[in-house]
Copies of this chain bind each other. A is one copy, B any other.
Amino acid sequence: MRVLGIDPGTAVTGYGVVRREGTGIALSECGVIRTKAREPLASRLEEIYEGVRELIARHKPDAVAVEDVFYARNVRTTVVLGHARGVILLAAQQAGLPLHEMPPAVIKKAVTGTGNATKEQVQFMVAKLLRLKKAPEPADASDGVAAALACCMAPVLPSVADALAALPRARAMRT
């Protein structure tokens, strides 16, 4: 099972691809999709959409895990973030992939054991769980990896069970 995890953002969208390997989990790739602040929103959305489509084409994940909107931020920022999430969900849907949406606190809890972990704690545990010498940089990339890890590590949650149940269908739609 291979999962693409995404931490959406209009300026920086973090991502990570992890795969189950025997009894452990290994990192395939992580990084960020960066857009230019001076570009119009529509053009930045296209870059994010193309970036996610390219990742799906390259890694052929079995599921996509996307961090949910964090509502405590500034409303305007949150709404613009909604635009970015929209084109990410669209890319996953078009690839016929099961989608796993998780609030930041659920991802943090799955990876560190506590829902209000700091960015540093998340980075530390991401490195630990994947046996990396140091945590992925920038923190957005770590957050993308954390989303993928949370999806892999919680196969008892109903939503992941749904994702697993949907796998043969998703594979069929790709071929």
CB contact list, A43-102 vs B, under 8 A: 43, 45-46, 49, 69, 71, 75-76, 78-87, 89-90, 92-94, 99
B99 touches A42 (CB 8 A): yes
**Bound: A89/B10 CA distance, A:** 13
* A127 part of interface (Cβ distance < 8 Å): no
A86 touches B40 (CB 8 A): no
- Among A75, A85, A90, the most chain B Cβ lie within 10 Å of the Cβ of A90
Chain A residue total in the interface (Cβ 8 A): 27
B90 touches A90 (CB 8 A): yes
* A41 part of interface (Cβ distance < 8 Å): yes
Q: For A93, give the chain B residue with the smallest CB separation.
A: B42
Write out the residue numbers on chain B whose beta carbons fall within 8 Å of the beta carbon of A43: 93
User: Nearest-CB distance from A143 to chain B (Å)?
Assistant: 19
Q: For A43, give the chain B residue with the smallest CB separation.
A: B93
Write out the residue numbers on chain B whose beta carbons fall within 8 Å of the beta carbon of A75: 71, 75, 78
Known: A42-B90, A46-B90, A82-B82. 19 other contacts (CB 8 A): A41-B89, A42-B92, A42-B93, A45-B86, A45-B89, A46-B94, A69-B79, A71-B75, A71-B79, A78-B82, A79-B79, A79-B81, A79-B82, A81-B82, A82-B86, A83-B83, A83-B85, A86-B90, A87-B87
User: 19 A–B contact pairs at CB < 8 A?
Assistant: A42-B89, A42-B92, A43-B93, A45-B86, A49-B90, A69-B79, A71-B76, A75-B78, A79-B79, A79-B81, A79-B82, A81-B82, A82-B83, A82-B86, A83-B83, A83-B86, A84-B86, A87-B87, A87-B90
Q: Which residues of A contact B (CB under 8 A)?
A: 40-43, 45-46, 49, 69, 71, 75-76, 78-87, 89-90, 92-94, 99
